[in-house]
């Protein structure tokens, strides 16, 4: 049963089934935390959403933005997401958040109220996804999420989908106790066998094993690049000028334009290397 808050998960009407990745994600059902970390275009959100779509359990999805890097805004959205799992979850937390000022001191009480509500009212297994966590991540929000993870009841499973690594001291302990499943670009990247299925189902193209292996190597299994090659009808020829231009446009929109102005200026200045003139 799908429960959504704020932005909805990615559209799943044309998702390619990936049994290998689903088998890895099955491990999430046996631990409290899933961390999916990869660069843009590796299908992080689609992988998690398509996995959850196959489950009978309730799940909630919250897509975060830069505005949620402020603790009050983040807690508002966390409460709203959890409230969709059960209508009794979050009432006391909302009352605390409505108090004027003092959010930096009140947030532990808000988290306590939420985990108590979850323990009292969430009697079946459920899943919560915080997508684009890197946009909200900051010391205050990280502290809130770590406390929430430490105390949330075992019937809730949390996923953090992010472009940036989490440098939390608690992660080492969670890893040691088997309480976190981590998925990276290595697991998300398409293998040659998956490239064959992708081109068959999405583009109606039959690739040989050698062609699929070449594409997987050339793109490093990056789904965005594979799709752009397929859309251009160049599956057997690899990258063409059009594919490279479309990949460049994607990177500008999804990576460069999302960086602060000073970072964009630095990247522009350092993107072209200058070679010293040498005498012949």
Q: What is the pLDDT of residues 86-141, one digit of tens each?
A: 999 999 999 998 886 667 778 999 999 999 999 999 999 999 999 999 999 999 99
Q: What is each CA distance from 160 to 2, 96, 99, 155, 221, in whole angstroms?
A: 18, 25, 28, 17, 22
Q: Which range among 75-79, 112-116, 236-240, 268-272 shows the weakest confidence by mean pLDDT?
A: 236-240
Higher pLDDT pick, 105 / 4: 105
> From the CB of residue 166, how many other CB atoms can be counted at a distance below 10 Å?
19
Q: Which range among 24-38, 51-65, 233-247, 257-271 shows the weakest confidence by mean pLDDT?
A: 233-247
Kindly state the percentage of the chain with pLDDT values over 70.
79
Q: What is the pLDDT of residues 202-251, one digit of tens each?
A: 888 999 999 999 999 988 899 888 888 887 665 555 544 444 555 555 55
pLDDT (0 to 100) of residue 134: 95
- How far is residue 98's CA from residue 174's CA, in Å, rounded to a whole number? 33
Print the SS3 string covering the chain.
Answer: CEEEECCCCCCCCCCCCCHHHHHHHHHHHHCCEEEEECCCCCCHHHHHHHHHHCCCCEEEEEECCHHHHCHHHHHHHHHHHHHCCCCCCCHHHHHHHCCCCCHHHHHHHHHHHHHHHHHHHCCCCEEEEEECHHHHCCHHHHHHHHHHHHHCCCCEEEEEEECCCCCCHHHHHHHHCCCEEEECHHHHCCCHHHHHHHHHHHHCCCCCHHHHHHHHHHHCCCHHHHHHHHHCCCCCCCCCHHHHHHHHHHHHHHCHHHCCHHHHHHHHHHCCCCCCCCCC
pLDDT (0 to 100) of residue 85: 94
The mean pLDDT of the chain is 85
How distant is the alpha carbon of residue 267 from its chain centre? Answer: 25
pLDDT (0 to 100) of residue 238: 52
- On whether the CB atoms of residues 128 and 91 are closer than 8 A, the answer is no
104: tokens are 């930096």
0.75 surpassed by pTM: yes
Query: CB-hemisphere CA count at 13 Å for 279?
Result: 0
């Amino acid at each position: 049963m799908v429960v959504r808050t704020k932005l909805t998960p990615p559209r799943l009407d044309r998702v390619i089934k990936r049994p290998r990745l689903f088998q890895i994600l099955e491990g999430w059902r046996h631990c409290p935390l899933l961390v999916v970390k990869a660069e843009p275009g590796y299908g992080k959100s689609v992988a998690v959403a398509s996995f959850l779509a196959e489950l009978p359990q309730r799940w909630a999805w919250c897509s975060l933005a830069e505005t949620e890097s402020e603790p009050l805004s983040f807690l508002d959205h966390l409460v709203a997401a959890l409230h969709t799992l059960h209508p009794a979850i979050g009432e006391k937390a909302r009352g605390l958040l409505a108090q004027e000022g003092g959010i930096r001191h009140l947030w532990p009480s808000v988290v306590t109220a939420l985990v108590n509500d979850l323990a009292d009212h969430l009697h079946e297994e459920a899943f919560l996804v915080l997508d684009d966590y890197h946009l909200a991540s900051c010391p205050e929000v990280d502290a809130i999420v770590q406390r929430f993870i430490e105390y949330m009841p075992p019937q809730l499973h949390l996923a953090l989908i992010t472009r940036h690594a989490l440098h939390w001291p608690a992660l080492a302990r969670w890893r040691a106790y088997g309480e976190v499943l981590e998925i990276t670009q290595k697991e998300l990247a398409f293998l040659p066998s998956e490239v064959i299925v992708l081109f068959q189902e999405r583009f109606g193209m039959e690739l040989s094993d050698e062609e699929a292996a070449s594409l997987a190597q050339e793109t490093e299994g990056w789904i965005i690049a594979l799709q752009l090659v397929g859309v251009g009808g160049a599956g057997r020829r690899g990258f063409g000028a059009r594919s490279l231009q479309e990949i460049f446009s994607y990177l500008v929109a999804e990576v460069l334009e999302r960086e602060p102005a000073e970072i964009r200026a630095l990247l522009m200045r350092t993107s072209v290397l200058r070679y010293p003139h040498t005498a012949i």
